Structure 1
């Protein structure tokens, strides 16, 4: 994310951090989503060199600082492909490293699961728990901290109250005026994050 040095060679990060204007190394909402995509590509066997090349090519092609967060990428485990419009205006699959069109038989992993997109395909919010919209990371709500979708209360506050109240979910639900199921969802999410 922030680059590294290996055998005397300086390797820059894959993109410029969203909160680059602070002295500390901080991550913004789009940084988290880009990391999520890099992790998914690595999990599918794509090399870091291929990811670096695809990121650079995609930034140039799509003129976006965070190209992986736009809804157009797929992988076959070796290369990263982007859905683009060819010269005729038809949708096509482009191998970003080779800048060549490819066949449509590529694997489309669930890279986009849980991400809501704006009209032009830019990521707006992320629901990190599979098949659930109870917890959301939204840069427009509570500074992008994980919150309960229904109330906006951050999951860490609920979890700390849960611990302080002797792990009594009913008591915490009364304090925050939220359902016990919401307390359970926040506690489960925080446990998952700690693991």
Structure 2
């Protein structure tokens, strides 16, 4: 089993980097079960997509999963259901030929029609005006979501500089399993933190 070039983020670490609660990350990417209000039977809800590490036997997500969930949060904040997001993800994946379509630069221009189609399919027509207008759609898919993402020639995200207006720190899945590193020197930020933060003396 090889994990190189994928990125490796435990859910608490992914939560810290994206500022999305761990519980939401697990529900979105691991699926969940609830009791039916009609008969009390358990109902299973599948994950939004098959994560990069789902078949690797580790309780973590990959680099592209980490970036993609930031877009999921943006739509959830505007009241779009997980079912519509799932349908839109499938449609965009098929149209773009990419496993992670929300992160693709094309989504900023082509995503409106994809989500409008998904809303109609799931019956969430009250939100159609929110995505049909270019300005309204850009309020959801803000440019800041793409800020700091570096793309390869295939329109796939390759690096992420998470600090606004700074490239001092980067997440690059080919180095240190994608954990934050200092751009100049590739030293993990955790190493620097533990080297410079004074140790708290223990009691007697």
Normalized against structure 1, the TM-score is what?
0.68
Q: Distance in 1 between matches of 2:196 and 2:69?
A: 30
Contact 2:91–2:114 (Cα < 8 Å) also in 1:
no
Quote the residue 2:127 is aligned against. none
List alignment gaps of at least 5 residues for structure 2: 1-28, 36-41, 121-130
Higher relative contact order (CA 8 A, sep 6+): 2
SS of the aligned residue for 1:57 comes to helix
List alignment gaps of at least 5 residues for structure 1: 75-81, 85-92, 167-195
Q: Distance in 1 between matches of 2:100 and 2:54?
A: 14
Q: 1:98-141: CA deviations, max 9, x gaps?
A: 16995544432122111111123211111111111111001122
- The answer to whether 1:6 aligns with 2:34 is yes
Contact 2:68–2:100 (Cα < 8 Å) also in 1:
yes
Q: 1:39-64: CA deviations, max 9, x gaps?
A: 22223443322212211211222222
Change over 3 Å in CA distance of 1:133–1:118 after alignment to 2: same
SS of the aligned residue for 1:96 comes to helix
SS of the aligned residue for 2:44 comes to strand
Contact 1:53–1:97 (Cα < 8 Å) also in 2:
no
Q: Distance in 1 between matches of 2:199 and 2:103?
A: 39
Contact 2:180–2:188 (Cα < 8 Å) also in 1:
yes
Higher strand fraction (1 or 2): 1
SS of the aligned residue for 1:59 comes to helix
Runs of 4+ in 1 over 6 A off after TM superposition: none
2:164 to 110, 123, 130: 130
Deviation at 1:9, TM superposition (A): 1.2
Change over 3 Å in CA distance of 1:67–1:145 after alignment to 2: same
Quote the residue 1:57 is aligned against. 91
- The answer to whether 1:141 aligns with 2:175 is yes
- The answer to whether 1:96 aligns with 2:115 is yes
SS of the aligned residue for 1:159 comes to helix
What is the RMSD of the two structures over their aligned residues, measured on CA atoms? 2.4
Q: Distance in 2 between matches of 1:137 and 1:50?
A: 30
Q: Distance in 1 between matches of 2:68 and 2:133?
A: 25
Quote the residue 2:137 is aligned against. 107
Larger radius of gyration: 1
Quote the residue 1:25 is aligned against. 59
Change over 3 Å in CA distance of 1:128–1:68 after alignment to 2: same
Change over 3 Å in CA distance of 1:122–1:13 after alignment to 2: same
SS of the aligned residue for 2:192 comes to helix
Contact 1:128–1:135 (Cα < 8 Å) also in 2:
yes
SS of the aligned residue for 2:102 comes to helix
